[in-house]
Amino acid sequence: MKSWQLQDAKAHLSQVVQNAIHDGPQSITLRGEEVVIMISVEEYEKLSKPKPSFVEFMRQSPLAGIDLDISRERSKVRKVDL
């Protein structure tokens, strides 16, 4: 991510915008401290899109609807090979 001092970002705003569109986020600093990140609309929409709930995520899984055998052994003792 390229970093710009505020006065340079103001002087080269069109370049900062083009870089944000083509090269990714651009950092803008004020008195040496990072204060703003400029991102493209496409990147912003990806980040701000609502996330599905866990249940919705699981329902959209390619494995949804597969019948799984999830029974387990109910005996209290099991044999272990040592």
Task: Confirm whether pTM is higher than 0.85.
Answer: no
Which two tokens mark 3? 């970093």
The tens digit of pLDDT for each residue in 55-69 reads: 998 888 888 888 878
- CATH 3.40.1620.10 applies to domain 2-59: yes
Mean pLDDT, range 12-26, rounded to an integer: 97
Q: Where residue 16 falls among pLDDT bands split at 50, 70, 90?
A: very high
Q: Are 42 and 20 in contact (CB under 8 A)?
A: no
Cα three-residue angle 34-38-44, rounded to 5 degrees: 125
Q: How many CB atoms lie within 10 A of CB 16?
A: 19
Q: Are 27 and 18 in contact (CB under 8 A)?
A: no
DSSP 35-65: EEEE--HHHHHHHHSPPPPHHHHHHTSTTTT
